[in-house]
Amino acid sequence: MMRAKDRLIIVAAGCSLPAVFLLGLEFASRNGWVNPTFLPAPSAIFATFAQIILTGAFFAPLVHTLTLLFVGYSIGCIAAISLGVLMGYSRAIYNLFEPLTELIRPIPKPALLPALILFLGLGAPMEITIVALGSFFPVLINTVQGVRAVDPVMIDTARTFGHKSPAVWRRILLPASAPYVLAGMRISLGLALLLVVTSEMLSGNGGLGDAILSAQRSFLVKESYAWLIVLALVGLVLTAIFNWTEKRVAFWQAPQAQ
Amino acid sequence: MSVTALHQVSPAPQGARLSIDKIGKVFTGPSGGSVKAIDGVTLNVEPGEFLAIVGPSGCGKSTLLQVIAGLMSPSSGAVRLGAQDVTGEPAHMVYLFQQYGKSLLPWMSVAENVMFSFRHRIVMTRSAARARCDEYLAMVGLLDFADHYPWQLSGGMQQRVAIARALAAEPKVLLMDEPFSSVDALTRLDLHALILDLWTAKRFTAVLVTHDVDEAIFLADRVAVLTHRPASISEVIDTNLPRPRLSIETRESPNFLALRHRLLAHLLARPGGAAHDAR
Ligand SMILES: Nc1ncnc2c1ncn2[C@@H]1O[C@H](COP(=O)(O)OP(=O)(O)OP(=O)(O)O)[C@@H](O)[C@H]1O
Ligand SMILES: [Mg+2]
């Protein structure tokens, strides 16, 4: 009982800060301390936000963004895990790929956008490619580390029962390195969201990034902020889904650590 | 634990003869330096025999056993199982690891861990696999824990699961690397009785590596004594103790004590031996 109550107090205290912040903005905006053209009152933004939700206007941009995100992120993660398992398992494969990956990895991914636009145009292929590229490297690095950290006893256990290489990768290396892989995927998820919004802003043909920028360009400032709220909620929900999945995929991790 | 339940059954040996022929192993370090771990070990293990190998800590016991198991290739010499050279992991040999905690896979339930040892080799329905798994779990007294995860069990129970898993593969040769060294003394006696029961019932060839002289004498037909690193055979002793062996009585018999005296004296007397370390 005590603990539940304590937690409630902490949550309440945590929520009170944004509340104070929003009230302050509301106050400042209504009193003209800030230019309401640039920073409309939160109440007005929320009204516009409600309108976007209620009219269903949010649906098309949201689906657009989530589709690109899902496809790009999946491609990036699957490619990174596959290559990462091989690079972590075999020194030769690591030495073969390491120079190439080390060449591309440090480049801030948005800097690749102009080149990608030249080759792939402004549509979905370019957007998916940049998301996949951005998701790829954190997962790759973590998978390599995770596979290297797998205890040789586990691998030898599989070998002594006659499991051959592909089965060892799938049944031992993959699950054993899952906690590392998931940590990489968490970083990648943030990067993927960043890149999908950036590339949508550049493309200008749909999605939440496009909605935010287009609204701002048409001086629909309230709409622009309202779309920002939609995007924030997307990030929140994706993180929650990720946490839920992570707990179930690496379920043996927490109890074992005790 | 049933100590004598299975001792009465004594079917014909089903193992295969294991020949270890002048095995040597040299490790090369990353900086070029090399460590000679094994130096010309020759041993023959008869089908269905229980052989123990004792040696001081760090002398190369695990290395020797891993070479025998085909998990590591020797620098010189050869291992044969029956008529076949051991290269790679042979189908009828199973290695029971010293570190059972790392050898059991934490994302698999106890039953899944056991089925991991044979399911991929044999075409069988899920229920047939589960039946075989349950049979072996019952032998080690852990049928009720089939759907638990390894980390939900005590150390002794985990080692029982590892034993059930190794035997469920129905190996001709079971190689054991100090499988009882990290459980408490009472559990260890219990596991000794269990492994003897299972060996009597299944008659696989057993090779046990240990630094515990009592354990070696109690379990084995013959005890091979290794020298300090690099390991080579310094003596092979027949135990000649009657079977079935009994947890308490066998350990108190004059023959047991005489063997114990002889082996300990042998291990401690060597220059640079354990007595030297203890001083
Ligand atoms: N992979 C390896 N690379 C290099 N040296 C090794 C390797 N494995 C073992 N050694 C060396 O070989 C020697 C024997 O090691 P091994 O593990 O076989 O000893 P052990 O008798 O099993 O020891 P313990 O009683 O502690 O289990 C040690 O000196 C060790 O440093
Ligand atoms: Mg060892």
Among residues B115, B147, B170, the one where a domain terminates is B170
Contact between A68 and A127 under an 8 Å Cβ cutoff? The reply is yes
| Side-by-side strand order, sheet with B50-54 | B93-96, B173-177, B205-210, B50-54, B222-226, B233-238
Among residues B170, B196, B225, the one where a domain terminates is B170
Using CB atoms, which residue from A167, A175, A252 is nearest to B149?
A252
DSSP A170: I
* Closest ligand by atom to B55 CA: 1
- Is the CB–ligand 1 distance for residue B59 below 6 Å? yes
Query: Do B79 and B190 reside in the same domain of the chain?
Result: yes
Residues 6 or more apart whose CB falls under 8 angstroms from that of A236 comprise none
Distance CA B273, CA B255 (A): 25
More confident of the two residues B187 and A193: A193
Q: B219-246 as b/e, with b when 16 or more CB fall inside 10 Å?
A: bbbbbbbbbbbbbbbeeebebebeeebb
Query: Do B84 and B184 reside in the same domain of the chain?
Result: yes
Query: Do B251 and B122 reside in the same domain of the chain?
Result: no
Query: Do B83 and B219 reside in the same domain of the chain?
Result: yes
* pTM for the full predicted model: 0.83
What's the domain range around B214? 14-92+172-270
Q: Give the rounded percent of residues in chain B with a pLDDT score beyond 90.
A: 63
Nearest CA in chain A to B62: A153
Using CB atoms, which residue from A167, A176, A256 is nearest to B120?
A167
> Above 80 in pLDDT, residue B232?
yes
Interface of B with A in 74-113 (CB under 8 A): 89, 91, 93-95, 97, 99, 102-103, 105-107
Q: pLDDT class for A37, splitting at 50, 70, 90?
A: confident
Q: How many residues does this entry show for chain B?
A: 279
More confident of the two residues A112 and B85: A112
Query: Do B166 and B71 reside in the same domain of the chain?
Result: no
Best residue for ligand 1 mutational test, from B62, B97, B180 (most atoms within 8 Å of Cβ): B62
Per-residue pLDDT at A254? 64
Residue A44 structure tokens: 């007005």
Mean pLDDT over B256-273 rounds to 81
Map out the domains of chain A as residue ranges: 1-39, 41-253
Per-residue pLDDT at B275? 44
pLDDT, averaged across chain B: 87
Query: Do B27 and B165 reside in the same domain of the chain?
Result: no
Query: Do B31 and B74 reside in the same domain of the chain?
Result: yes
Query: Do B49 and B74 reside in the same domain of the chain?
Result: yes
Peptide bond into B244 cis (omega under 30): yes
Distance CA A27, CA A43 (A): 10
Per-residue pLDDT at B266? 84
Q: pLDDT class for B14, splitting at 50, 70, 90?
A: low
Residue whose Cα lies nearest atom 28 of ligand 1: it is B58
Q: B156-176 as b/e, with b when 16 or more CB fall inside 10 Å?
A: bbbbbbbbbbbbbbbbbbbbb
Tens digits of per-residue pLDDT, B32-57?
788 888 998 999 999 999 999 998 88
Using CB atoms, which residue from A151, A159, A178 is nearest to B71?
A159
Place of tokens 């400032």: A221
Domain count for chain B: 2
Distance CA B115, CA A45 (A): 59
Q: Which of A181-185, B82-86, B209-213, B269-273 has the lowest mean pLDDT?
A: B269-273
Query: Do B123 and B218 reside in the same domain of the chain?
Result: no
- Is the CB–ligand 1 distance for residue B211 below 6 Å? yes
Helix crossing, A91-104 with A59-89: angle to 10°? 140
Among residues B117, B138, B170, the one where a domain terminates is B170
Q: Taking the mean position of all CA atoms in its chain, how far away is CA A206?
A: 19
DSSP per-residue codes, B245-261? --TTHHHHSHHHHHHHH
Give the ligand 1 atom nearest the CA of B211.
25
> Above 60 in pLDDT, residue A84?
yes
Helix crossing, B185-202 with B126-139: angle to 10°? 120
> Above 70 in pLDDT, residue B188?
yes
Nearest CA in chain A to B65: A160
Tens digits of per-residue pLDDT, A57-82?
999 999 999 999 999 999 999 999 99
Specify burial of residue A28 (Cβ count, 10 A radius: 0-12, 13-18, 19+): middle
Query: Where residue B236 sits, what CATH number does that domain have?
Result: 3.40.50.300
Per-residue pLDDT at B85? 84
Mean pLDDT over B195-215 rounds to 93
Query: Do B134 and B177 reside in the same domain of the chain?
Result: no
Per-residue pLDDT at A2? 59
Query: Do B185 and B85 reside in the same domain of the chain?
Result: yes
Tens digits of per-residue pLDDT, B216-230?
999 999 999 998 888
Task: Give the distance (Å) from ligand 1 centre to CA of residue A173.
Answer: 24
- Is the CB–ligand 1 distance for residue B226 below 6 Å? no
| CATH no., domain A41-253 | 1.10.3720.10
Residue whose Cα lies nearest atom 22 of ligand 1: it is B62
> Above 60 in pLDDT, residue A258?
no
**DSSP bridge pairs for B53:** B209, B224
Best interface-test mutation with A: which of B92, B97, B107 has the largest number of A CBs within 10 A? B107
Q: Which positions in chain A touch B94 (Cβ < 8 Å)?
A: 160-161
Q: Which positions in chain A touch B72 (Cβ < 8 Å)?
A: none
> Above 70 in pLDDT, residue A1?
no
Distance CA A62, CA A60 (A): 5
Residues 6 or more apart whose CB falls under 8 angstroms from that of B154 comprise none
Query: Do B221 and B87 reside in the same domain of the chain?
Result: yes
Per-residue pLDDT at B5? 41
Distance CA A111, CA B189 (A): 67
Distance CA A116, CA A120 (A): 6
Q: Taking the mean position of all CA atoms in its chain, how far away is CA A258?
A: 29
Tens digits of per-residue pLDDT, A129-174?
999 999 999 999 999 999 999 999 999 999 999 998 888 888 999 9
